[in-house]
Structure 1
Amino acid sequence: MKLLTTALFAIAFGILVGLSFPSLWITETSLPRNLLRSIAISLRDSGIATPPKAIDISKACAERLPPGIIASESDLYLRRLWGNPDEDLKKQPRYLATFTVGYNQRHNIDACVNKFSDNFTIVLFHYDGITSAWNDEFEWSKNAIHISVKRQTKWWYAKRFLHPDIVARYDYIFIWDEDLGVDHFNAEEYIHMVKKHGLEISQPGLDPERGFNWQITKRREHSEVHKETDEKLDWCSHPPRPPCAAFVEIMAPVFSRDAWRCVWHMIQNDLVHGWGLDFALRRCVEEPAFENIGIVDSQWIVHQFIPSLGNQGKEDNGKAPWQGVRDRCQMEWKMFENRVDAAEKDYFKSLQVESPSNSTTSQ
């Protein structure tokens, strides 16, 4: 009798605790991705069945809607204004290519777009406000998506128009500048190389004879892909880190869907130039990062170094427009590094563990 009474009391107490503290349920969004992965592996190895994936009720109004009507993702597919919606799309492109452009570089962009098949959605971000003239000159422009906001950078556009839930249908996302020569580039072949070598973040190799580039991003002959280099002995470390490995430049990056979801969240709303982002991209792939980030040598491009962005600046205190833009870039780089370091220290402090000594975004 005493044993039965004790058992009933324990059951009642358990029910009371469960009702009193519903917030103790652990959701996927409340834990870091690496920790969630470790928990999942532990559960798998222990033979314990993992619970079904819960709907993220933190999204606006989701708690008011039945799960079956929630459309949490969208796309950039163009649709008709008539007919059966199920018959709108004759083709659903698997990849996305975006370019931040001014009308003066239209012929360069025309050459770029013609290197991308109809398996790509094309988006042009116009920093000079000129849009309709493109349709008059290029047939492909009539099927492209044009977004126009004057004097903004590609990272400003990307943060506001390329949310991961909007581009979730695309396997790979190209976020490119306007001053790239593509005579030796084919987008479909590039995708083939990226998949073959398992690259989550990548860029085409750069012509080593044109302008200044990091050593790792220079194209290598007789190679499909490379992932490491010797930049400077005092910069390189083990395991390899930027700029010796796990590094691409921000002029022509290509992201997998999963990598872009992470990178988008790392882009800061007020830091529009993206300087310093290249050193931090390694945070958005599985370790070892240097195995998942690389340069595609077999499909290479030329960086033409056209200073169109500097011309969008404004003369201030006697400084030329381009100098003001340059100063802002360098300022943002330092601000971004400081934010990453501070955020990481705060995070590890909340876990009551010591922050790694090599947590900065650059060497």
Structure 2
Amino acid sequence: MSTTQTSKIEIIKAATTKINEVDFENLSFGSVFTDHLFECDFKNGEWQKPVIKPYAPFLLDPSTRVFHYGQAIFEGMKAYKDEDDAIWLFRPDENYKRFNKSAVRMAMQEVPEDIFMSGLKELLQLDEAWIKRGKGNSMYIRPFMIATGTGVIANPSDDYKFMIILSPVSAYYAGEVKVLIAEHYSRAANGGIGAAKAAGNYAAQFYPTSLANKQGFQQVIWTDDATHTKLEEAGTMNVFFRINDTLFTAPVSERILDGVTRKTLLELAKSEGINVDVRPVLVSELVEASKNGSLKEIFGAGTAAVVSPISGFSYQDVYYELPKNENSMALQLKDKLTNIQNKLAEDTFGWTVKV
């Protein structure tokens, strides 16, 4: 193990690498991690010196606040390697801004941009051999922050730990996805933390999703908490509906996450001349569109899968199968987006950032 110093980041290199133990042709999403991680603590009212060090477990006091009051946030990002072995990030500024938006909502310390971006880029460069070329291959990036102050008094923590870990991933295939439209459970409520990428949002989804799984559905399309008449998100993704040749999606709100993939697809669709309508979409509209044949596609959008087509949905015990679509708007948009991310097409939007 060797230690080097940049102007701002201490780097402790792993004595050995795990890369030769990894089967990159058969990666299970988010289960394999690179040799190093980035860490920076907020203590005594200020950010400490950042460090990149070997990936390893770490100890926390049993009274650490994250365990008791759930102050935990995260982001999901990806890095790509082009045919010249250059590393590229996709819209990292959007993830950074959303990370701190989540921090503010959860009464946590905001992370300075130089710590977030410098740490991310330095870590990617150190573990660059783990990033494989080729469309479908990428490095999934998980920045996260937890409350590390101790004591079980119900107050925000004074101390925090910000970390970044890296996980190589290959093409994400979810298979056929059938969804159940929620009639009782909600992902988030007005005035709540739905717009924050808070860990607890995802924990709260597990139980109703498990109930849907038992009925043969892979995911839940969440509806608004007050009336359960408005369609909001699909699983852990934003959701789009194609009715005839118009693409519909719900507006972001206190309940709906401002997804980076969502806003990217909206901009791509508009640039392609696709009619886009951002407004609340009613369950009754979806059911009627399915009955009259105008509903062509439903798909989820998020960092992991990029685009995840949905084959059918169930509402009030009635299942509605979507038509097989040879001219899939979802797959066309996914192809255009992934070509930009992998530097296989010109980035006229200025979304890609070289590391």
Give the TM-score taking structure 2 as reference length: 0.26
| Higher Rg of the two aligned structures | 1
Hey, which of these two has a bigger chunk of strand by percent?
A: 2
Hey, which of these two has a bigger chunk of helix by percent?
A: 1
